[in-house]
Amino acid sequence: MTVYVQTSNKGSVNLREKPDKSSKALAQIPYNTKLEVEYVDSKWSKAVYNGKTGYVMTEFLTNNKSFSKSDLQAIHDSLKSTLTMIEKLLK
């Protein structure tokens, strides 16, 4: 399953060796990073990041990617351009 890392402060999360907060951190996963998870439970999810398999707290994972203002502006501009072309074709 594909998920994204999201925290309220837009910070990174730890990929841990075991499903425990005191377990060794294998990597820091940046905000909005796309991850593949092998399984999810209410507290921990088993994930793969940069070739490393470990555990991430499930509360920091979501199915939805967050878009920045510049991402949204680029989408808007692209859609506006497409609509303009369609309007010209319809005339």
14 has a pLDDT exceeding 70? yes
Token pair of 6 as six digits: 């999201």
Domain boundaries of the chain, sorted by first residue: 2-65
- Rounded CA separation 5/55 (Å): 12
Q: What angle do CA 62, 7, 36 make, to 5 degrees?
A: 40
15 has a pLDDT exceeding 70? yes
Q: How high is the pLDDT of residue 62?
A: 86
36 has a pLDDT exceeding 80? yes
Give Cα 3 distance to the centre of its chain: 6
Topology classification of domain 2-65: SH3 type barrels. (2.30.30)
> CB under 8 Å to 83, separation ≥6 — which residues?
none
60 has a pLDDT exceeding 70? yes
